[in-house]
Structure formats: C-alpha cells, structure tokens
Chains A and B, each alone.
Chain A
Amino acid sequence: MTAPTGTTMVVAQARTEIVLALRNGEQVLVSLGIPLLVLVFFSTVEVLPLPEGVDQPVDFLAPGVLALTIMSTAMVSLGIGTGFERSYGVLKRLGATPLGRPRWVAAKILMVLAVQALALIAVGLAAIVLGWRPDAGVVALPVVVVAGTAAFAGIGLAMAGTLRGPATLAAANGLYLVLLLVGGMVIPLDSLPGGVEAVARLLPAAALSEVTGAVSTAGTTVPVGAAVVLAVWALGAPALAAATFRWE
C-alpha cells in the first residue's frame, strides 16, 4: 500500500471543511446572509449618505459589500469555526494524525476561498440585478480577494488561536460590527468624523473596500495608500496568527 499523497489528504480535509462550513447555519448567515441583507436593504431604502459623485446607492454599496463578504467569511466564519474546533480538541486530535499542520492550513485556505467564491458570486449577481454595472477592471478582483482574505483570515485565526471558543465568538462579532461601520463598506469614509476616518483608513476593512471600489468602478485608479495598508495587513496578520497560535 502506498501512503496517501499530500494532495489526497488536503482534498479530503478541504471537502470536509467546506461541508462543515455550509452545514453550519450561523456560518452561512455570516458569510452570505448578512452581506446580501445589507446590499439589498440599503440599495432599496435610501437612508445612507453617498460619497460625492455617486448617484445610485448600489454603485457605492456593491464593492463595499463584496469587501464585507470577504471580511465575513475570512475573519468571522473562519475565526469562530476554528476557535470552537480548538476548544473542542479537534485540532489536538488532528495533531496525532498524518495530516500535519501545513496541510490543515492549506485545507482551511481552500475552504475559505471556496465559500467566498460562492458568496461573492451571489452578492455580485444580486448587485447586478439591483443595477450595479462594474467596470472591466473588476477582473482584477481575485487579486484583491486574496489580499483581503489573507488579512482577515490572519486576524480571525489570531483570535481563534489565542482565545477560548466563546471569547473568539464575541471578539470576532464585535470587531466585525466596528469594521462594518468604519470600513467604508456601507457608510462612506468621508462621512465619518475626521479623527475616526484617519484611524479607519489604517484598518484593513477600509483599505479593502477602497481597493475593491477602485478596481470595479470606471475612471478610478487604485489609491496607493489603501493598497499599501491592505498589503501590510495581508502579510502582517497571518504572520501574527502563525506566531501566536496555540493548538490546544
């Protein structure tokens, strides 16, 4: 008998992770339900301020909600799911199998990307139905998705790897709400008070939504500042998670 290849194990693990994520109602609600609700509600009920030069709410909301979707899946869903797995000894048990940590991480990444792909397609289609017409530059979106996923997955796993399961749940949800409000996703950054806006621009949520907006909106170029902030988070947060993660 030959040993299962690393690929076989990663595929089996990733498939299980995806099944578990889609079976978990709370994770689906966070990954897909909340972004869709935000998009549909605020596109049809015009209560939010719009940035200058934008006529239709959906034109501003669509990229913001795509960014929100990434934050939902990569930070909240992954973070909470992994936090509870750690609390319940799932990661400890996997440590005594031939799977190994690198393949486990690879499977988690595949799970997040797969769930995100489903959620992003659903949100994108809904936005188009609501009248969103993205620029051709949107083909660059996968690069942005990868950067945003790295940043938020790093934050989610940093919490999951150091806090207890219920504490991860609370921290991830709390942080999610704060970043939703100051992330330029539903409320334009220039509507925020000056001090708050300055801080918000250094956080990954605002950087991600700005870059997403820039690549998907005609006649805009990607702001260098936001791109740099996003890149720093995309490299720094996973490094922090790797350095602090405790398996038991």
Chain B
Amino acid sequence: MVEDLVVRHGDVTAVDGLSFEADLGTVLAVLGPNGAGKTSTVETLEGYRRPADGSVSVLGLDPVRHHRQLVGRIGVMLQEGGIANGLRVEEAVRLFAAYYPDPLPVDDLIEQVGLADRRRATYRTLSGGEQQRLSLALALVGRPEVVFLDEPTSGVDPVGRQVIRSLVARLRADGVCVVLTTHDLDEVERLADQVLIIDGGRKLAEGTPATLRTAGAPAVRFVSTPGLDLAAMAKVCGVDATAVTTTGHGGYQVSGASDAAVVAALTSWLSNEGHPLDDLHVGGDRLEEVFLRLVGGASDAEDPAPSNGAPKTAGRRGRAGRRGRAGRRGRAGRRENQ
C-alpha cells in the first residue's frame, strides 16, 4: 500500500521513507506521538497530499491521479471539523448519502452512531464526542472499502469510544480495511490487528499488538515497599544482582526471568518478609512500555525495525528489538519533528 513514502511540508520532512501495507478486513493502527507524521501519512493516502518521494496506492489506485475513481470507495474522518456548523445531524447524513450510489440507510446509521436523539441538533451544538460520531457516520455512509480515521476517539467520552470501537470492529468483520491513527494505547490493544509505530516520520516498529508486546526481554515486574534489599531479592530469584532494578515508587523489575518458579520464590520471600505485593506483571513488555521505549529512544535510520510479514523476519524482529532496547536507551536520542 505504501512504499518508501516521503511527505514534505515546505522544508519540513513530515514522513521520511515509510513503507507498510494493510489488508482488507483488518485494522491498522498508526501509533505515534504528536508530530510523528501520522496525519501526513493518512492524508497522503486520502489524496490530500502528493508524496515528495516513494509511492502510495489504495485499492490499487493512485490517490491523487485516480482521485475520482477512488473517492467513492473510501471513507474519511478528519482529525476535526469538516462539517458546516449550522447543519443538523440528519441533514448531514442525508447530504453525504446523496453523494454515493448505494448508501447505508440513513436512519439506521444515525442509530448506530448513537445520535438518534440528536438528529435535529446542529453540528455546532453537538459535544466533541457527538461531533466525532457524526463525522464517523459520514465516513461510513457510502459503504467504503477502505476507511481512514484520524484520531477517531480523541476528545470522546467512554460511552462514545465504545460506540466507535464497536463500529470499527463491525467494519473489519464486513471486510473493510480500517486505517486509524491514535496515541491511545488502550485503543490499539482493543482494536488493531496490525500496529505501526512511527516517530519523526519513520517506522520504529510494526507487528500485531501481541508480537510487539513480546518483543522485549521477559521480566517480572511488581510494586512493593520502597527500599527492599535488591541483592537478597536477586539471590532468592536466582539471577545476577544486576538483573534486579528499581523502577521508582516501590516498583521493581527482575529481568531475564519470567517463569513460575521465580514468581513462586519471589512471592514467598515477600510474604515471609511481610512486604506487600501489587501490580504483578510477568512476561514481555506491555504495549505502553514498548511504545515509550521506542519513542523515547532514537529513530535509527541504520537499524530500522524489520517489517512484519514473512515468517523468516520474525526472528530478526526479536533480535533487533533487543538490540534496539540496549542501544537506544544508552544513546542520547535524535528526536525529530517533535
């Protein structure tokens, strides 16, 4: 879908050599901090921007050159706005329905986005979450094959988020390709089949949420009384003293070991010593930690995270992940475009 994409705004390079693809019937989450190049990437796919270099194709078409053929087959939700202030919910959906050959039934769609009791309200008077849901309805009314959602749940309350997430899940079930940008890791865990983590316009990592989580070294993490004897803890767990570290506020990490025996030894030691135990986590990193580690470190042009796909790349990802972990932490980190 996207190969070696470069997008520039004047002198600023927003996207720098990005490649990825997404299949029909899947949800791709483009994850990154503010200014990472998420919107620039999506807007290039939508045909709003011309790539400075590289190539982009959506449904086999060039979003700029084949704009007319493509617009009827994609659905777009901008980051904000896009709807006239004085337009009512129902009028907006009916208007957009008139643009497409086989639109969804307007009343059902309004119901699905939870705006049935707001159909007479003008866009101006809707809450932020209601505006986002209307915007989503307009993206879906034409039965698109590919849907682009730019931060669909930002500023949306928990109920609205649930509505949006269940609609995205239904789109996937219907065979639609959903590309969404977000910086909400919870959303990625719940929605995404594939995750693309970018920063400074470059790919930092790519994979399913599960593979990204397990890319890090195994460890046991927990919270207890601050100031515990780390050497004693290492001995109990049967690891080197250097493998036990504190993570602040009574947080501890025992690296390189995550089997049940270590956990049993550790918890019985804590119990015998009379220390509390809270927030115990065993195994690879949580997605949040993966994200923070990747984004907090440098984006390294010589050592890009390998792409997902062919089985032989799976092993390479593991090694690169570990190497990246050690290397990126140590370096000062070259952060672009923050």
Q: Which residues of B contact A88 (CB under 8 A)?
A: 81-85
A85–B96 Cα distance when bound, in Å, is 16
A99–B98 Cα distance when bound, in Å, is 9
Closest chain-B Cβ to A10's Cβ sits at a distance in Å of 10
Known: A3-B72, A13-B95. A92 touches B82 (CB 8 A): yes
9 additional A-B residue pairs with CB within 8 Å, beyond A3-B72, A90-B81: A2-B101, A3-B101, A13-B95, A20-B84, A90-B84, A93-B78, A93-B83, A96-B74, A98-B68
Which of A12, A19, A93, A98 touches B82 (beta carbons < 8 Å)? Answer: A93
At the interface, yes or no: A191 with Cβ under 8 Å from chain B? no
Which of B46, B98, B138 touches A4 (beta carbons < 8 Å)? Answer: B98
Q: Which residues of B contact A129 (CB under 8 A)?
A: none
In the complex, the chain A residue whose C-beta lies closest to that of B47 is A96
Closest chain-B Cβ to A74's Cβ sits at a distance in Å of 19
Closest chain-A Cβ to B66's Cβ sits at a distance in Å of 13
A-B contact count (CB 8 A): 73
Q: Do residues B86 and A24 form an inter-chain contact, with CB atoms below 8 A? A: yes
Q: Do residues B86 and A90 form an inter-chain contact, with CB atoms below 8 A? A: no
Q: Which residues of B contact A1 (CB under 8 A)?
A: 101-102
In the complex, the chain B residue whose C-beta lies closest to that of A90 is B84
Q: Which residues of A contact B87 (CB under 8 A)?
A: 16, 20
At the interface, yes or no: A174 with Cβ under 8 Å from chain B? no
Residue interface bits B81-124, CB-to-A below 8 A is 1, else 0: 11111110001001110111110000000000000000000000
- Interfacial residues, chain A to chain B (CB-CB below 8 A): 1-4, 8-9, 12-13, 16, 19-20, 23-24, 84-85, 88-90, 92-93, 95-100, 248
The size of the chain B interface, using a CB distance under 8 A, is: 28
Known: A4-B99, A96-B47. A84 touches B85 (CB 8 A): yes
Closest chain-A Cβ to B204's Cβ sits at a distance in Å of 28
Q: Which residues of B contact A96 (CB under 8 A)?
A: 46-48, 71, 74, 76
A216–B46 Cα distance when bound, in Å, is 52
Q: Which residues of A contact B99 (CB under 8 A)?
A: 4, 9, 12, 97-99
The 4 closest A-B pairs by CB, nearest first: A93-B82, A12-B98, A89-B81, A1-B102
In the complex, the chain A residue whose C-beta lies closest to that of B69 is A98
At the interface, yes or no: B336 with Cβ under 8 Å from chain A? no
Q: Mind listing 25 A-B residue pairs with CB under 8 Å?
A: A1-B101, A2-B101, A4-B98, A8-B98, A12-B95, A12-B98, A12-B99, A16-B84, A16-B91, A20-B84, A20-B87, A23-B86, A85-B84, A88-B84, A90-B82, A92-B78, A92-B82, A93-B83, A93-B138, A95-B48, A97-B96, A97-B142, A98-B68, A98-B99, A100-B68
Q: Do residues B83 and A90 form an inter-chain contact, with CB atoms below 8 A? A: yes
Q: Which residues of A contact B81 (CB under 8 A)?
A: 88-90, 93
Residue interface bits B45-83, CB-to-A below 8 A is 1, else 0: 011100000000000000000001001101010101111
Closest chain-A Cβ to B312's Cβ sits at a distance in Å of 38
Q: Which of B48, B82, B94 has the most CB of A within 10 A?
A: B82
A20–B87 Cα distance when bound, in Å, is 7
Q: Do residues B86 and A20 form an inter-chain contact, with CB atoms below 8 A? A: yes
- Interfacial residues, chain B to chain A (CB-CB below 8 A): 46-48, 68, 71-72, 74, 76, 78, 80-87, 91, 94-96, 98-102, 138, 142
Q: Which residues of B contact A93 (CB under 8 A)?
A: 76, 78, 81-83, 138
Closest chain-A Cβ to B144's Cβ sits at a distance in Å of 10
Closest chain-A Cβ to B302's Cβ sits at a distance in Å of 36
Q: Which residues of B contact A90 (CB under 8 A)?
A: 81-84
A95–B84 Cα distance when bound, in Å, is 14
Closest chain-B Cβ to A222's Cβ sits at a distance in Å of 39
Known: A12-B98, A96-B71. A89 touches B86 (CB 8 A): no
In the complex, the chain B residue whose C-beta lies closest to that of A3 is B101
In the complex, the chain B residue whose C-beta lies closest to that of A91 is B82
Q: Do residues A4 and B101 form an inter-chain contact, with CB atoms below 8 A? A: yes
A88–B86 Cα distance when bound, in Å, is 12
In the complex, the chain B residue whose C-beta lies closest to that of A81 is B84
Q: Do residues A92 and B48 form an inter-chain contact, with CB atoms below 8 A? A: yes
Closest chain-A Cβ to B76's Cβ sits at a distance in Å of 4
In the complex, the chain B residue whose C-beta lies closest to that of A16 is B95
Q: Which residues of A contact B46 (CB under 8 A)?
A: 96
A88–B85 Cα distance when bound, in Å, is 8
Known: A89-B82, A93-B82. A98 touches B71 (CB 8 A): yes
A150–B46 Cα distance when bound, in Å, is 33
Q: Which residues of B contact A98 (CB under 8 A)?
A: 68, 71-72, 99-100, 142
A8–B96 Cα distance when bound, in Å, is 12
In the complex, the chain B residue whose C-beta lies closest to that of A19 is B91
A211–B87 Cα distance when bound, in Å, is 37
In the complex, the chain B residue whose C-beta lies closest to that of A11 is B98
A98–B83 Cα distance when bound, in Å, is 16
Q: Which of B96, B99, B102 has the most CB of A within 10 A?
A: B99
A13–B142 Cα distance when bound, in Å, is 16
In the complex, the chain A residue whose C-beta lies closest to that of B82 is A93
